């Protein structure tokens, strides 16, 4: 469970990186982060298998969203630059 709690701190910072350029994506990630923290706190107080299952499910959803955000933030500018390099040069 330690790695899950470490990820919660990393996930909590993700909207800060996205805020200036991709506010909608940053706002979309906030409910999942709240759910992670709430389920984590409940799990610490009363560790049951179903709380852990919901926690891991929420964790997986946040991982997918974080990877999508990383692709949008870092991958798309690289892909766009490569597409522009491959386009034939136009003579005006």
Averaged pLDDT for residues 11-29: 83
Mean pLDDT of the 7-12 span? 80
| Helix (H), strand (E) at residue 84 | helix 76-86
Range of the domain at 63: 2-86
Task: For the chain, give the number of residues.
Answer: 92
Confirm if 36 and 80 have CB atoms less than 8 A apart. Answer: no
Instruction: Give the three-class secondary structure for 48.
Output: coil
Helix ranges, 1-92 (H): 2-18, 23-45, 49-70, 76-86
Domain assignment present for residue 19? The answer is: yes
Q: What is the pLDDT of residues 30-57, one digit of tens each?
A: 888 888 888 888 888 988 888 888 888 8
CB 72 within 8 A of CB 25: yes
Round to whole Å and give the CA distance between 39 and 54: 7
Say how many domains are in the chain: 1
Provide the whole-model pTM.
Answer: 0.67
Residue 22 lies in a domain: yes
pLDDT value of residue 1: 67
Domain assignment of residue 92, yes or no? no
């Amino acid at each position: 469970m330690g790695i899950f709690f470490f990820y919660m701190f990393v996930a909590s910072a993700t909207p800060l990186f996205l805020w200036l350029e991709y506010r909608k994506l940053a706002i979309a990630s906030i409910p999942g982060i709240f759910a992670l923290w709430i389920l984590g706190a409940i799990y610490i107080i009363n560790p049951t298998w179903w709380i852990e299952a919901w926690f891991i499910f929420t964790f997986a959803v946040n991982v997918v969203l974080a990877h999508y955000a990383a692709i949008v933030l870092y991958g798309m500018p690289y892909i766009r630059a490569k597409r522009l390099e491959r386009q034939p040069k136009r003579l005006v």
